[in-house]
């Protein structure tokens, strides 16, 4: 798979990465270590070398499965591992404790990209305490790069101002064709500043694959049960973009998921990390790379997705 440099880092990453929240065993339903290893093995086979996980995913389970699979597959030197610190553990003492646990679970000396999962919202921890501690981890060689996730722009700017020897290289945010709040102010800033937007839920948790409708919802008790995207009203609102994805997919011999990811990778500052539960999904998602839809098709999708994003309602009662 095509490789790119991840923003201002020295990491040569596959054009898209893979999210490992699916390994948690709770949010996305039961998941065994053997399933996780098969998914990671397929990702390596198709050339994916960037994996995203978090302390909170299955309370360390996703990190453990990912680290163990990479170790057993003998791939540590070929991959980059990004993980996140829990947004409620942002005091210096908590960060110092957590990074040791995370390095142990992942089985690595240094974490390639260490991200603040979400800003402190319960504990009133000063942002500079958090950021200066992360900088200390870089100085000590425990972490190579730092990133943030789910920060509004003003707080991101504040976080950067706390750093003196390093900088934030990535911002991980919800971003897909129909969830576009980052377009309003964050993404223009990131492009200007050379910070990569790592797009989470790039397939809108499966909505953009076209397999879910109000009559055919995810069957299991997973995180989507309470996700507003899956209300019948929002699925109906999203239907025209799914139709357009299907139309473009048919023209190029691709799938709607591949077109939805292809729309994202047109922008060099956007880095999608689709989650996958099976080796087949990994292969399909990797097929989003290596071709481009026409400019006209890209623009039509872009406009349609934007219009729909402004009609999706997160208010559900």
Ligand X SMILES: NC(=O)c1ccc[n+]([C@@H]2O[C@H](COP(=O)([O-])OP(=O)(O)OC[C@H]3O[C@@H](n4cnc5c(N)ncnc54)[C@H](OP(=O)(O)O)[C@@H]3O)[C@@H](O)[C@H]2O)c1
**What residues make contact with ligand X under the rule CB under 6 A?**
19-22, 28, 52, 117, 149-150, 172, 200-206, 209, 211, 218, 257, 273-277, 281, 284-285
Residue 105: how many CB atoms within 10 A of its CB?
Answer: 20
The rounded radius of gyration (Å) of the Cα atoms in the chain is: 19
Q: Smaller CB distance to ligand X: residue 109 or 221?
A: 221
Q: Does residue 57 carry a catalytic annotation? A: yes
Whether 47 contacts 240, CB under 8 Å: no
Minimum CB separation of residue 86 from ligand X in Å reads 11
Minimum CB separation of residue 305 from ligand X in Å reads 14
Q: Smaller CB distance to ligand X: residue 164 or 258?
A: 258
Backbone angles phi, psi at 180, to 5 degrees: -125, 25
Q: E-strand spans in the chain?
A: 3-5, 12-14, 18-19, 50-52, 80-85, 111-116, 143-149, 168-174, 196-200, 270-272
Measured CA to CA, the distance from residue 290 to residue 189 in angstroms comes to 28
Position of minimal CB gap to ligand X: 19
Minimum CB separation of residue 164 from ligand X in Å reads 26
CA distances from 298 to 42, 90, 148, 256, 264 (A): 29, 40, 29, 13, 10
Backbone angles phi, psi at 3, to 5 degrees: -110, 145
Minimum CB separation of residue 283 from ligand X in Å reads 8
Q: In a 3-state reduction of DSSP, which class is residue 125?
A: coil
Whether 95 contacts 86, CB under 8 Å: no
Measured CA to CA, the distance from residue 223 to residue 275 in angstroms comes to 13
Beta bridge partners of 199: 173, 272
- Helix (H) / strand (E) element for 291: namely none
Separate counts of helices (H) and strands (E) for the chain: 10, 10
Minimum CB separation of residue 151 from ligand X in Å reads 10
Q: Smaller CB distance to ligand X: residue 30 or 164?
A: 30
Q: Smaller CB distance to ligand X: residue 156 or 203?
A: 203
* Dihedral angle, C-alpha 134, 80, 53, 149, nearest 10 °: 50
Q: Smaller CB distance to ligand X: residue 272 or 293?
A: 272
Measured CA to CA, the distance from residue 264 to residue 317 in angstroms comes to 31
Q: Which of 42, 41, 43, 39 is nearest to 14 (CA)?
A: 43
Q: Smaller CB distance to ligand X: residue 201 or 237?
A: 201
> Looking at 57, 80, 212, 271, which residue is catalytic?
57
Minimum CB separation of residue 204 from ligand X in Å reads 6
Minimum CB separation of residue 306 from ligand X in Å reads 18
Q: Smaller CB distance to ligand X: residue 107 or 279?
A: 279
- Catalytic positions, please? 57
């Amino acid at each position: 798979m095509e490789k790119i440099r991840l923003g201002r880092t020295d990491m040569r990453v596959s054009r898209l990465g893979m999210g490992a929240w699916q390994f948690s065993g709770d949010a996305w339903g039961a998941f065994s270590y053997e399933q996780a290893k098969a998914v990671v093995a397929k990702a390596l086979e198709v050339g994916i070398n960037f994996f995203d996980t978090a302390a909170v995913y299955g309370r360390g389970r996703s990190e453990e499965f990912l680290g163990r699979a990479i170790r057993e597959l003998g791939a540590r030197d070929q991959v980059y591992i990004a993980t996140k610190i829990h947004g409620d553990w942002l005091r210096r003492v908590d960060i110092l404790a957590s990074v040791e646990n995370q390095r142990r679970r992942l089985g690595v000396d240094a974490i390639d990209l260490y991200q603040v999962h979400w800003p402190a919202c319960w504990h009133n921890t000063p942002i500079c305490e958090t950021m200066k501690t992360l900088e200390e981890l870089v100085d000590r060689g425990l972490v190579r790069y730092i990133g943030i996730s789910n920060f509004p722009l003003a707080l991101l700017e504040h976080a950067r101002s706390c750093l003196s020897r390093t900088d934030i290289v990535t911002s991980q945010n919800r971003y897909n064709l129909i969830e576009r709040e980052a377009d309003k102010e964050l993404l223009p800033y990131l492009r200007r500043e050379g910070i990569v937007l790592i797009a989470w839920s790039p397939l809108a948790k499966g909505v953009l694959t076209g397999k879910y409708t109000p009559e055919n919802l995810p069957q299991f008790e997973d995180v989507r049960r309470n996700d507003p995207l899956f209300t019948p009203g929002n699925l109906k609102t999203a239907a025209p973009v799914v139709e357009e994805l299907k139309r473009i997919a048919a023209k190029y011999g691709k799938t709607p998921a591949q077109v939805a990811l292809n729309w994202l990778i047109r922008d060099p500052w956007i880095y999608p990390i689709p989650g996958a539960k099976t080796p087949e999904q990994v292969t399909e998602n990797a097929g989003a790379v290596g071709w481009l839809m026409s400019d006209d098709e890209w623009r039509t999708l872009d406009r349609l997705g934007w219009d729909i994003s402004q009609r999706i309602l997160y208010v559900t009662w």
